[in-house]
Amino acid sequence: MNPAEHDIVLFGATGFTGGLTAEYLAAQAPTGTRIALAGRTPGKLAAVRARLGAAHADMPLLHADVEDRGSLRSLAESARVVISTVGPYILYGEPLVAACAAAGTDYVDLTGEPEFVDLMWLRYHEEAERSGARLVHCCGFDSIPHDLGALFTVRQLPEDTPLRVNGFVRTGASFSGGTYHTAINAFARLRQSARAASERRRLEPRPAGRRVRGIVGRPHRDAEAGGWVMPLPTIDPQIVLRSARALPRYGPDFGYGHYLVQKRFSTLAALAGGAGAAIALAQLPPTRRLLLSLRSPGEGPAAGQREKSWFRVRFIGEGGGERVVTEVTGGDPGYGETAKMLGESALCLAYDELPLLSGQLTTAVAMGQPLLDRLERAGIRFRTVTDR
């Protein structure tokens, strides 16, 4: 345990998701939790603190700027756990990861950027292993429901036998300007992302005597999933497979497929066409700037929209002659539930009895059941639908 001044420091509290995370921590953290807010604009930090109410009027405000490495070093050294909501992470995230890896400070974020996660493994995993830091990326939606949901599903199946799990995600929600900007920047960097992934595959050890693989699917209608499904090449299946490589409970031969679900094939086709067009336009600076100008990074869905939002991830697992269907469900995935997941991840690292591991870890490996239990108490539901 890092004997630091603050239990949790939230970097990026003045952003849309950062503000929601600050509100969640203020309401749900155990009494006595030493929380600080960090950012580069004191006035904006003070405004966030004022929203939290009189009980938090003395919450410390820390100056930190991604262009000031000294400020990030001081931030990391002052904290047991650091939360970062400052993205796109490929542009702004590395200096804080570097500071936490050097200081031995636990770190969580909500990135969904494969290139960033791979580069941070390449550059800081070994240093974090030496310092004792746990670097846990992707602690929001999408990845936590899929990573912990796959773990939950695997635990309903027999041990020491080949297992196959398919995950099907469906949502009813809108997204913020920050998420939009992150996606466009990621589309523009597909070649760089592929290079980072290739280098990580070359260097990262694989489990001896076990096979872990992604299942290459195709668009099709699946009544049990609830509609038409299409393979979804986000970071989430990568996270699930990394957990499976690290945890022997996934069996000697584990396969995972990952799909988006829509009721109508026409909607699925439109989404695929829109994504293809955005990827093409993001390759050229003029059209990329045009795409980025369509949404402001500070914009986000209104409270009324968020209250009506929801997500459902259904898993179908098979192995050892048994079959199980499970679900992870919750409310507003991108913001309300993401703030919950991010906040509970930080609290889990700060307070719970966890495996003695360090380096870059997934949520299932670093926290596993204790985090799943926390999320269930917070209102995210993990359940078995059928077991036959």
347-357 pLDDT, tens per residue?
999 999 999 99
Q: What tokens were used for 374?
A: 């926390």
Which tens digits make up the pLDDT trace of 107-140? 999 999 999 999 999 999 999 999 999 999 999 9
Buried b (16+ CB within 10 A) or exposed e, 314-337: bbbbbbeeeebbbbbbbbbbbbbb
Name 109's bridge partners.
84
The more confident residue out of 286 and 326 is 326
Distance between CA 89 and CA 16 in Å, rounded?
A: 15
Give kind and range of the element (H or E) at residue 32. Answer: none
Distance between CA 68 and CA 63 in Å, rounded?
A: 10
Q: Is the pLDDT of residue 1 over 50?
A: no
Distance between CA 160 and CA 348 in Å, rounded?
A: 29
Name the H helices within the chain. Answer: 16-28, 42-51, 69-77, 89-92, 94-103, 114-131, 143-154, 177-188, 190-203, 236-246, 265-282, 285-293, 303-308, 336-351, 363-366, 368-377
Mean pLDDT of 79-102: 96
Distance between CA 220 and CA 271 in Å, rounded?
A: 15
Instruction: Assign 276 a pLDDT band (cuts: 50, 70, 90).
Output: confident
Q: What tokens were used for 174?
A: 């809108």
Name the H helices within 247-329. Answer: 265-282, 285-293, 303-308
Which tens digits make up the pLDDT trace of 171-215? 886 666 667 777 787 888 889 999 999 999 999 999 999 999 999
